Amino acid sequence: MAVGQPEVLKWLELLQQVYAEHREWLTELDSAIGDADHGINMDRGFTAVKAELAAHPPSDIRSVFQSVATVLIRHVGGAAGPLYGTFFLRAAAACAGKTGLEAADVVALFQAGIEGVAQRGKAAGGDKTMLDALLPALDAMRKGLQDGCSLAAILDAGAAAAQAGMLGTVPMQARKGRASYLGARSIGHQDPGATSSYLLLQAAADTWRS
Protein backbone atom coordinates (compact mmCIF):
# COMPACT_ATOMS: atom_id res chain seq x y z
CA MET A 1 0.00 0.00 0.00
CA ALA A 2 1.00 3.61 -0.47
CA VAL A 3 0.88 5.74 2.64
CA GLY A 4 -0.92 9.00 1.95
CA GLN A 5 -1.63 12.03 4.09
CA PRO A 6 -4.73 10.39 5.68
CA GLU A 7 -2.61 7.42 6.81
CA VAL A 8 0.07 9.74 8.20
CA LEU A 9 -2.58 11.57 10.19
CA LYS A 10 -3.96 8.26 11.48
CA TRP A 11 -0.47 7.34 12.71
CA LEU A 12 -0.17 10.61 14.59
CA GLU A 13 -3.66 10.18 16.04
CA LEU A 14 -2.71 6.72 17.30
CA LEU A 15 0.53 8.11 18.74
CA GLN A 16 -1.45 10.59 20.79
CA GLN A 17 -3.54 7.74 22.20
CA VAL A 18 -0.51 5.53 22.80
CA TYR A 19 1.43 8.17 24.70
CA ALA A 20 -1.64 9.05 26.76
CA GLU A 21 -2.15 5.38 27.63
CA HIS A 22 1.53 4.85 28.50
CA ARG A 23 2.06 8.17 30.26
CA GLU A 24 2.48 6.62 33.71
CA TRP A 25 4.74 3.82 32.49
CA LEU A 26 7.09 6.18 30.68
CA THR A 27 7.17 8.52 33.67
CA GLU A 28 7.89 5.63 36.01
CA LEU A 29 10.80 4.52 33.82
CA ASP A 30 12.09 8.09 33.75
CA SER A 31 11.78 8.45 37.52
CA ALA A 32 14.50 5.83 37.95
CA ILE A 33 17.16 7.47 35.77
CA GLY A 34 15.82 10.87 34.66
CA ASP A 35 13.56 13.74 35.58
CA ALA A 36 10.39 11.66 36.01
CA ASP A 37 8.60 13.61 33.26
CA HIS A 38 9.07 11.70 29.99
CA GLY A 39 5.57 10.28 29.92
CA ILE A 40 4.09 13.62 30.91
CA ASN A 41 6.06 15.37 28.18
CA MET A 42 5.21 12.90 25.42
CA ASP A 43 1.53 12.97 26.34
CA ARG A 44 1.53 16.78 26.42
CA GLY A 45 3.42 17.03 23.16
CA PHE A 46 1.23 14.74 21.09
CA THR A 47 -1.95 16.13 22.61
CA ALA A 48 -0.74 19.52 21.37
CA VAL A 49 0.06 17.96 17.99
CA LYS A 50 -3.50 16.64 17.72
CA ALA A 51 -4.91 20.07 18.52
CA GLU A 52 -2.64 21.85 16.04
CA LEU A 53 -3.41 19.48 13.17
CA ALA A 54 -7.14 19.83 13.83
CA ALA A 55 -6.99 23.63 14.03
CA HIS A 56 -4.67 24.10 11.05
CA PRO A 57 -4.93 21.14 8.65
CA PRO A 58 -1.66 20.85 6.68
CA SER A 59 -1.73 20.77 2.89
CA ASP A 60 0.57 17.79 2.32
CA ILE A 61 2.64 15.12 4.05
CA ARG A 62 5.69 17.34 4.37
CA SER A 63 3.63 20.06 6.05
CA VAL A 64 2.15 17.52 8.47
CA PHE A 65 5.58 16.50 9.69
CA GLN A 66 6.78 20.10 9.82
CA SER A 67 3.82 21.01 12.04
CA VAL A 68 4.54 18.05 14.31
CA ALA A 69 8.18 19.07 14.63
CA THR A 70 7.32 22.66 15.52
CA VAL A 71 4.77 21.64 18.14
CA LEU A 72 7.03 19.07 19.79
CA ILE A 73 9.95 21.46 20.03
CA ARG A 74 7.64 24.02 21.62
CA HIS A 75 5.73 21.77 24.03
CA VAL A 76 7.97 18.83 24.98
CA GLY A 77 10.46 19.49 27.76
CA GLY A 78 13.95 18.14 28.28
CA ALA A 79 15.91 16.50 25.48
CA ALA A 80 12.87 14.76 24.03
CA GLY A 81 11.42 17.89 22.41
CA PRO A 82 14.46 18.77 20.31
CA LEU A 83 15.18 15.12 19.49
CA TYR A 84 11.69 14.12 18.43
CA GLY A 85 11.30 17.51 16.77
CA THR A 86 14.43 16.84 14.74
CA PHE A 87 13.12 13.39 13.83
CA PHE A 88 9.95 14.83 12.32
CA LEU A 89 11.72 17.79 10.73
CA ARG A 90 14.09 15.47 8.87
CA ALA A 91 11.18 13.19 7.99
CA ALA A 92 9.42 16.21 6.50
CA ALA A 93 12.39 16.97 4.26
CA ALA A 94 12.47 13.34 3.09
CA CYS A 95 8.80 13.59 2.07
CA ALA A 96 9.07 16.82 0.10
CA GLY A 97 6.93 16.76 -3.01
CA LYS A 98 5.38 13.37 -2.27
CA THR A 99 1.65 12.76 -2.15
CA GLY A 100 2.05 9.06 -1.35
CA LEU A 101 4.79 7.03 0.28
CA GLU A 102 5.82 3.63 -1.03
CA ALA A 103 7.84 1.24 1.11
CA ALA A 104 11.15 2.81 0.03
CA ASP A 105 9.82 6.27 0.92
CA VAL A 106 8.71 5.13 4.37
CA VAL A 107 12.12 3.64 5.08
CA ALA A 108 13.74 6.83 3.78
CA LEU A 109 11.70 9.03 6.10
CA PHE A 110 12.62 6.89 9.10
CA GLN A 111 16.25 6.86 8.04
CA ALA A 112 16.32 10.64 7.72
CA GLY A 113 14.62 11.09 11.07
CA ILE A 114 16.84 8.62 12.92
CA GLU A 115 20.01 10.08 11.42
CA GLY A 116 18.80 13.49 12.56
CA VAL A 117 18.31 12.21 16.10
CA ALA A 118 21.84 10.77 16.14
CA GLN A 119 23.33 14.03 14.91
CA ARG A 120 21.31 16.22 17.26
CA GLY A 121 21.90 14.03 20.31
CA LYS A 122 25.54 13.25 19.47
CA ALA A 123 24.86 9.69 20.60
CA ALA A 124 25.41 6.21 19.22
CA GLY A 125 24.20 2.71 19.82
CA GLY A 126 25.13 1.41 23.25
CA ASP A 127 24.82 4.81 24.95
CA LYS A 128 21.47 3.80 26.54
CA THR A 129 19.33 6.26 24.62
CA MET A 130 16.44 6.21 22.17
CA LEU A 131 18.95 5.27 19.47
CA ASP A 132 19.27 1.82 21.00
CA ALA A 133 15.73 1.21 19.75
CA LEU A 134 15.88 3.33 16.59
CA LEU A 135 19.13 2.10 15.05
CA PRO A 136 18.28 -1.62 15.15
CA ALA A 137 14.84 -0.75 13.80
CA LEU A 138 16.38 1.11 10.87
CA ASP A 139 18.72 -1.80 10.11
CA ALA A 140 15.78 -4.22 10.14
CA MET A 141 13.65 -2.00 7.92
CA ARG A 142 16.44 -1.48 5.41
CA LYS A 143 17.04 -5.23 5.23
CA GLY A 144 13.33 -5.84 4.72
CA LEU A 145 13.28 -3.32 1.89
CA GLN A 146 16.32 -4.95 0.26
CA ASP A 147 14.62 -8.34 0.52
CA GLY A 148 11.54 -7.02 -1.25
CA CYS A 149 9.23 -7.39 1.75
CA SER A 150 5.86 -5.69 1.98
CA LEU A 151 5.55 -2.43 3.90
CA ALA A 152 3.71 -4.25 6.67
CA ALA A 153 6.52 -6.79 7.01
CA ILE A 154 9.15 -4.05 6.93
CA LEU A 155 7.44 -2.10 9.70
CA ASP A 156 6.79 -5.22 11.79
CA ALA A 157 10.49 -6.09 11.56
CA GLY A 158 11.40 -2.55 12.56
CA ALA A 159 9.07 -2.59 15.55
CA ALA A 160 10.35 -5.99 16.69
CA ALA A 161 13.96 -4.80 16.44
CA ALA A 162 13.07 -1.63 18.35
CA GLN A 163 11.44 -3.68 21.10
CA ALA A 164 14.53 -5.88 21.40
CA GLY A 165 16.74 -2.80 21.45
CA MET A 166 14.56 -1.21 24.12
CA LEU A 167 14.85 -4.27 26.35
CA GLY A 168 18.56 -4.36 25.63
CA THR A 169 19.02 -1.01 27.38
CA VAL A 170 18.30 -2.57 30.79
CA PRO A 171 21.84 -3.94 31.41
CA MET A 172 23.55 -0.90 29.85
CA GLN A 173 25.26 1.91 31.70
CA ALA A 174 24.12 5.27 30.41
CA ARG A 175 26.71 7.36 28.60
CA LYS A 176 24.53 10.27 27.51
CA GLY A 177 21.96 12.57 29.08
CA ARG A 178 20.87 12.91 32.64
CA ALA A 179 21.01 9.17 33.21
CA SER A 180 24.78 9.25 32.61
CA TYR A 181 25.19 11.19 35.86
CA LEU A 182 24.16 8.06 37.73
CA GLY A 183 27.06 6.02 36.41
CA ALA A 184 26.71 2.37 37.35
CA ARG A 185 23.42 3.08 39.10
CA SER A 186 21.81 3.47 35.67
CA ILE A 187 22.35 -0.24 35.06
CA GLY A 188 19.24 -2.35 35.50
CA HIS A 189 16.76 0.26 34.26
CA GLN A 190 15.01 0.41 30.89
CA ASP A 191 15.65 3.62 29.00
CA PRO A 192 12.48 5.72 28.69
CA GLY A 193 13.53 7.30 25.39
CA ALA A 194 14.13 3.91 23.83
CA THR A 195 10.70 2.91 25.11
CA SER A 196 8.87 5.87 23.59
CA SER A 197 10.77 5.24 20.34
CA TYR A 198 9.61 1.64 20.28
CA LEU A 199 6.04 2.84 20.83
CA LEU A 200 6.40 5.23 17.88
CA LEU A 201 7.52 2.43 15.57
CA GLN A 202 4.93 -0.03 16.81
CA ALA A 203 2.22 2.55 16.18
CA ALA A 204 3.42 2.99 12.59
CA ALA A 205 3.32 -0.78 12.08
CA ASP A 206 -0.16 -0.99 13.58
CA THR A 207 -1.49 1.89 11.47
CA TRP A 208 0.04 1.04 8.10
CA ARG A 209 -0.45 -2.73 8.23
CA SER A 210 -2.97 -3.11 5.39
pLDDT in tens, 133-147: 999 999 999 999 999
**Which segment of 56-60, 71-75, 182-186, 193-197 scores lowest on mean pLDDT?**
182-186
Burial of 194 (0-12, 13-18, 19+ CB in 10 A): buried
DSSP code for 105: H
Residue 154 belongs to domain spanning: 3-207
pLDDT of 1 above 80: no
Q: How many domains does the chain have?
A: 1
Compute the Cα dihedral for 208, 109, 178, 189 and give only its sign: positive
CATH number, domain with residue 87:
1.25.40.340
What are the phi and psi torsion angles at 4 (to 5°)?
A: -100, -175
Please tell me the pTM assigned to this model. Answer: 0.96
pLDDT in tens, 27-39: 999 999 888 999 9
Average pLDDT rounded to a whole number, residues 58-72: 97
pLDDT at 78: 82
